Amino acid sequence: MTDLDGVLAFAARSRLAGGGFGYLGADGRVLPGRPVETWIVSRMTHVFGLASLLGRPAADELAAHGVAALTDGPLHDRQHGGWRSSTGDDAKTAYVHAFVVLAAATATSAGVPGGRALLEDALDVWQTRFWGDDEGLAVEEWDAAWRRLDGYRGVNANMHGVEAVLAAADALDDPGTAERLRGQALRATERVVHGWARERDWRLPEHFTDRWEPLPEYNRELPADPFRPYGITVGHQFEWARLALHLRSVTPDAPSWLLDDALALFDAAATRGWAADGEDGFPYTLDWSDRPVVGARMHWVLCEAVAAASVLVRVTGEPRFQELARRWREHGERRFADPATGSWHHELTPSGQVASGTWAGQPDAYHLAQMLLLDGRPVRGSVAAALS
């Protein structure tokens, strides 16, 4: 069985001497020639921050290494503020900034030096540049100087924004700020889950115009895009279901729809997604008639399915979720686990061969580590709070 210490040892290989963390290949070594990517640095910093909360050896230093890279390294734009997408891309995206907030929040919870200052900076950028209070959602992408706002709007970045502000609320000792951030998370979740997903019988649209009008045909010609695929992304439905339950745990007088919608969204993803093409596992995406579009099996989709089922066990006590978590985890151990690296292959064909149509190598440890850490732990606003 995959164990956390093995995953952390794999993740530690991503440490870059020049600062931050690199993208890991299939052999567990940093792929040469790739730029340093802010989402990778942030996700690895988050993972090592979680490990620090558990007292794992060397985790403090690795988390501090990530915080330093995000604070003083070339990814941080000192002239204009915010964070570049990578050392080769100056765009400022909500997806990237959500992960900077998450990394900083977890570092703050773990007492990593510099974590609190990074969190205050990252939250300020999120609030002033991305969060739209009128819409109750975040915008997507700016140019480097914050002059041009792209017309695309997306749910993926907002999902990770919910995760990030919930973690920030848990990390801060300011009740007023925490209440405001959790309120923003509730507004975004209500719009996405209780609005668009519920209205479409739990088929969640991901792509929108600048007026938040759905674009159901977006990227039909690029269906395997790693961040903006066409159609229904099964793994995101599991993630939104889980996040609704994290949010419910920290919302006073939480509305009943948070649990009801989480159950409905989870069940839709589980029943429509599993073996949709006749092969065991969850396809990456489905079309609007629940037919597979990209049949590749992504490790992160299965990790999020297991994590959501594990959280539902704690919330509902229903044995069926324990059975699903067990069955899906066993499937992952048979198909995805890579004994050579201690991690999981990130992409497989429907029949189980290692593939790279969307993801090369085994880039990071974020989804797998969280799957392992959520199993059997109390449901809180964030994974860090559950460990604390």
pLDDT of residue 173: 87
The per-residue pLDDT for range 48-78, each reduced to its tens digit, is 999 999 999 999 999 999 999 999 999 999 9
The average pLDDT across 288-302 equals 98
The per-residue pLDDT for range 98-130, each reduced to its tens digit, is 999 999 999 999 999 999 999 999 999 999 999
Nearest to 167 by CA among 261, 63, 250: 250
The average pLDDT across 260-275 equals 98
The per-residue pLDDT for range 326-376, each reduced to its tens digit, is 999 999 999 999 999 999 999 999 999 999 999 999 999 999 999 999 999
Task: Tell me the two tokens of residue 156.
Answer: 């993926």
pLDDT of residue 101: 99
pLDDT of residue 130: 99
User: How distant is the alpha carbon of residue 178 from its chain centre?
Assistant: 20
pLDDT of residue 289: 98
Nearest to 324 by CA among 370, 373, 377, 274: 274
> From CA 119, how far away is CA 252, in angstroms rounded?
25
How, if at all, do strands 141-142 and 232-233 pair?
unpaired
Q: What is the CATH number of the domain that holds 165?
A: 1.50.10.10
The average pLDDT across 278-303 equals 98
Identify the domain containing residue 92 by its residue range. 4-387
Domains: count for the chain: 1
Catalytic residue among 76, 194, 331, 367: 367
Cα Rg of the chain (Å, integer): 19
pLDDT of residue 384: 98
- Residue 236 annotated in active site: yes
Query: Rounded to 5 degrees, what are φ and ψ at 325?
Result: -60, -45
Catalytic residue among 207, 236, 331, 346: 236
CB 294 within 8 A of CB 281: no
For 175-298, where are the alpha helices, taking DSSP H only?
175-189, 198-199, 234-249, 257-273
The per-residue pLDDT for range 167-178, each reduced to its tens digit, is 999 999 899 999
pLDDT above 70: percentage of residues in the chain: 100
Residue that has been written with the tokens 């929108």 in this structure: 208
The average pLDDT across 262-266 equals 98
Instruction: Tell me the sheet residues that pair with 24.
Output: 30
- Residue 346 annotated in active site: no
Confidence grade of residue 161 (pLDDT, cut at 50, 70, 90): very high
Q: Is the pLDDT of residue 212 over 90?
A: yes
Confidence grade of residue 131 (pLDDT, cut at 50, 70, 90): very high
Nearest to 23 by CA among 34, 10, 8: 34
> From CA 195, how far away is CA 99, in angstroms rounded?
25
CB 49 within 8 A of CB 110: yes
pLDDT of residue 292: 98
> From CA 225, how far away is CA 243, in angstroms rounded?
23
> From CA 153, how far away is CA 203, in angstroms rounded?
18
Task: Tell me the two tokens of residue 53.
Answer: 């909360």
